[in-house]
Chain A
């Protein structure tokens, strides 16, 4: 009953994406079959998961400075079609963890800091309670873009099977960003009504010719939020200092919602509007069909492939419509002890009742598999790589009017909180793809010197995205990892 087929043909790999055959044509099609993007917009997509990218029995891809000079490791075969877009790093050092307070010194505890590069503000009583000491790179970049006049979201933070409350993204030291696990909620909140529905032709949909009308429902929403803000102001004046800071944050979030109303120029809730954010049409840039189909239970582990794919599709749709320029997707929490990769071809399940003993437990949970750190782990590693490959493939399949793909002007970053399943916080590999408008030199697989802090990578992401900084996180970890630029 433990036996499972761990051989991965390419087709099998594609099936593991959760997309099955439906994905095949996309991956194999001409990338520029849909032109719906405004050109030149840079985007950052971060994909994170726990328990190591590697096991004791698989090696990272070979090193090389030119696609012809290196080969992808078998477990990264799903990335093969995009080798020239890749920038593989082996690997970064999560020094922030070992140098500051933390609940523990294992890679599990790296989750709240891998995107901040800052010593923790305080250690929790468990890995769920560690408090980051600064903003994460997604929030930093998104906030800077907004400060520079961009009108979309700071970032779109999504997750699947994030059981614990350890957080990956932070608005500021101590202020966690809570990922949205419900893709239908993501759609209804951030996308619905703000993006042109899939059109039958490749030409942008013409807005319906209507006489301008006042949307009274929306106007009343604004009035309601005004009243709420007045209440929050009053409330913040009768509480203590720490509480006041919290209520003031609450107030700023309400203000954000109100600002979002103002930028919606549609003619009513849920209508296909004439929002300036809508830049095109075509299936690849429209609403993912699954977003409006009958919902599947998004908290059910068995549905992770479907849910993760929908989350990714929504993020890419939001990218295409320029509703966000930064997105973060997280599968699993810092340990994922209860995450069972139950779908084909992994098919991990409980071993069932053990004769003479009722012991089972999650012997096939990701955490336990990671600790065994052998073949089963390689199968999991392979699946996670295929998720990154899916995002890369989708972004590559969408082109702007100049013929450049979304991927060309963007960067995808796959990160983990440790190296292999046994907790190493050094030499942690990173998958990058996309040159971010020529900033990164792709097609390479780099061996980084031991002790290269992850901060240099985070700085490079900020600089690539046009939100420059000299340092990120704790300044003692130095400057940009300039080798990425080539």
Chain B
């Protein structure tokens, strides 16, 4: 074997090994017996039979997909539905602590074909701000846009939760240390700027050289004004009294200047749980309705909207609406949500949601913004640096007007946003500088899965790896769940060269051949027309590309799903995905996970159904309507009290 050939084979072996590790780390959700034919949907139907039936599967070698458990069971009852993860196998994979152990099992889906279920609500997760939320908030509050938490020199990362999204519950000593230091540094910088006559963010010291008699009133004014922003709700009287007491102590005992004493208040606020955690309820106890649910306060609704759609905090308009209790009706919330989606800040959440949804695999987190720094990238520096921009601009163009907001556009639109180097990959003329929208050949490109950001970024390097791509389609776009690979998967001996597909298509005799690879290989091979950087190709290793395939989609609910996808290439697959109820129901569910910060439960099912139906009213499935409906649904406006919460 020549040296070159040995190298190529070594690389293919390596890719396969990585894929195996990925598959292994991805899963182990349900302890279905290894890979013997058990590919399941997430959740199955509302039925208690999951460990046996819900995830069960089919016969070992058939390679088809299990029906997710026959429906029985009362929805709405705080019962276990679906299974994912929790049921079988002793591996309860709840997220760490926190309040997201909601009633009911992990679960259901919008059972889009089943009987509508009354809307209800699960628990509210008390979670820490994500690092990106923190960064966006301090940018607004203090004008610091350096992204101290999530930037290139940012903090040790928080884990991806079982939702597939970063959603931190617990706190470590490290966090408290960096919160302390960051609060001091941010406020000291703002104080310096203030002394130099510059206002940074919302940091405004309300009086200039006040007399001793005026100082308390000035401090009070700062507390109420800055505090309402930082806490996303009015500062409560007891809190205000403590902060005034702090002001008085640092001013007199600690002998700080007036402005430094105001700064001390800001430093305390930035370390307060009222800033650092999503709860926003304040010291008042919730009042439960007859159904046992507590309505979110208007401030909580404002925060939920800002977090969900902007990855940040409410703006003045939202706060004013909360103040006037104008976030109570679906119409009011819809109006705000529509406004927010049209705001540039929406790109922050849209990026974060889609990136994590489509790219996070197991523990592996892709940062499109960091790919340029990877030593291995085959992309030019400008192309790599442009991935985040391409991805974000495309998604924003879909969700925000004048985009039609449909899943169909997201998955099939033949255009992209490119700089010159990305244009070269697409084979089109790009802008001389900056980014611009370009139309692409619709026979070569359709939607987000055929764009360079996905194709090159999915492995955050630049190898075309059909397994990663296939897993993204099956487990992310279709919410399918794979059983873990069997132990001791033997090393695959690659054939001597060939196309990528040939190299990977060697599972014929392996234990996972039919039940695992038959599921995620075909959607991966659909992308064989794109090389590692996403350049279109019709030949691979001198042979014609074969991007044809067929696979059975996951069963999302009894009687729903199990669709057979059959395609000649990724264009056809993307179009089929856009039209499939599974993919539509899946995106509904993924958005809910992202915004609720936990897995969906039976209690959320009615709202998920409502949102799905709203989305489906529009041809191509309106993501925008679905999203707005979710945000104004009962699951998002009410909550069950947490266990042990004083009522």
Contact = CB atoms under 8 A, between A and B. Distances in A.
A103 to B, nearest CB: 5
Interface stretch (A60-68, A283-291, A365-373, A411-419): A365-373
B540 interface: yes
B101 interface: yes
Given A223-B253, A358-B535, A254 B271 contact: yes
A302 B375 contact: yes
A128 B173 contact: no
A30 to B, nearest CB: 38
Interface string A163-203: 11110000100111111111001001100000000000000
A29 to B, nearest CB: 35
Given A126-B363, A178-B172, A240-B645, A360 B463 contact: yes
A300 interface: yes
B97 A256 contact: no
Contacts of A246: 97-98, 126, 169-171
Contacts of B461: 338, 360-362
B173 A299 contact: no
A393 B275 CA distance: 46
A250 B173 CA distance: 7
A301 B373 CA distance: 9
B156 interface: yes
Interface in A221-250: 221, 223-228, 230-232, 234-235, 237-247, 249-250
A222 to B, nearest CB: 8
B206 interface: no
B583 to A, nearest CB: 22
Contact of B94 (A122, A165, A176, A335): A122
B173 to A, nearest CB: 5
Interface string A100-122: 01011110100000000000001
A375 to B, nearest CB: 12
B272 A228 contact: yes
Nearest to B175: A178
A108 B364 CA distance: 14
B18 A362 contact: yes
Contacts of B533: 358
Given A125-B28, A350-B376, A357-B540, A241 B156 contact: no
B259 to A, nearest CB: 13
B177 A223 contact: no
B93 A125 contact: yes
A127 interface: yes
Contacts of B12: 359
Nearest to B285: A238
B362 A254 contact: no
Contact of A239 (B126, B160, B242): B126
A358 B25 contact: no
Contact of A354 (B11, B171, B487): B11
B590 to A, nearest CB: 16
Interface residues of A, number: 98
Contacts of A379: none
Contacts of B378: 350, 353, 358, 360
Contact of B642 (A175, A242, A342, A365): A242
A131 interface: yes
Interface stretch (B84-92, B394-402, B568-576): B84-92
A238 to B, nearest CB: 6
A177 B172 CA distance: 6
A363 interface: yes
A2 interface: yes
A220 interface: yes
A104 B487 CA distance: 8
A292 to B, nearest CB: 16
B484 A127 contact: no
A452 to B, nearest CB: 24
A340 interface: yes
Contact of B268 (A180, A224, A357): A224
B325 interface: no
B542 interface: yes
Contact of A220 (B264, B463, B500, B535): B264
Interface stretch (B71-79, B243-251, B622-630): B243-251
A104 to B, nearest CB: 5
B267 to A, nearest CB: 5
Interface residues of B, number: 112
Nearest to B172: A178
B157 interface: yes
A71 interface: no
Contact of B153 (A131, A243, A253, A297): A297
B156 A253 contact: no
B15 to A, nearest CB: 5
A329 B253 CA distance: 42
A176 B21 CA distance: 23
B239 interface: yes
Name the residue in B25, B26, B255 with the highest tally of chain A Cβ atoms < 10 Å from its Cβ: B25
Given A223-B253, A240-B641, A231 B239 contact: yes
A101 B90 CA distance: 7
Contacts of B8: 354, 357, 359
B477 to A, nearest CB: 19
B273 A231 contact: yes
Contacts of A309: none
Interface in B76-129: 85, 90-94, 96-99, 101, 123, 126
Interface string B156-198: 1111101000000111111111101100100000000000000
Nearest to B540: A357
A176 B158 CA distance: 11
Contacts of A223: 246, 249-250, 253-254, 264
B629 to A, nearest CB: 28
A124 interface: yes
A361 B465 contact: yes
A175 B462 contact: no
B171 A216 contact: no
A250 B273 contact: yes
B97 A358 contact: no
A360 B532 contact: yes
Contacts of A164: 363-364
Given A239-B279, A359-B500, 20 more contacts: A127-B25, A165-B160, A178-B175, A188-B181, A216-B256, A220-B260, A230-B242, A232-B273, A238-B646, A242-B97, A242-B642, A243-B126, A302-B375, A350-B375, A358-B378, A358-B464, A359-B463, A361-B462, A368-B17, A371-B17
18 contacts: A128-B25, A159-B156, A177-B174, A188-B181, A220-B250, A220-B264, A235-B277, A238-B283, A246-B97, A253-B173, A253-B176, A297-B373, A342-B375, A356-B541, A360-B532, A362-B461, A365-B18, A367-B17
3 pairs of A and B residues whose beta carbons are closest in the complex: A240-B642, A128-B363, A241-B644
Interface of A: 2, 101, 103-106, 108, 122-129, 131, 159, 162-166, 171, 174-182, 185, 188-189, 216, 219-221, 223-228, 230-232, 234-235, 237-247, 249-250, 253-254, 256-257, 297-302, 333, 335, 337-338, 340, 342, 349-351, 353-363, 365, 367-368, 371-372
Interface of B: 3-4, 7-8, 10-15, 17-18, 21, 24-29, 85, 90-94, 96-99, 101, 123, 126, 152-153, 156-160, 162, 169-178, 180-181, 184, 238-239, 242-243, 245-246, 249-250, 253-256, 260-261, 264, 267-268, 271-274, 277, 279, 281-283, 285, 362-365, 373-376, 378, 459-465, 484, 487, 500, 531-533, 535, 540-542, 641-646
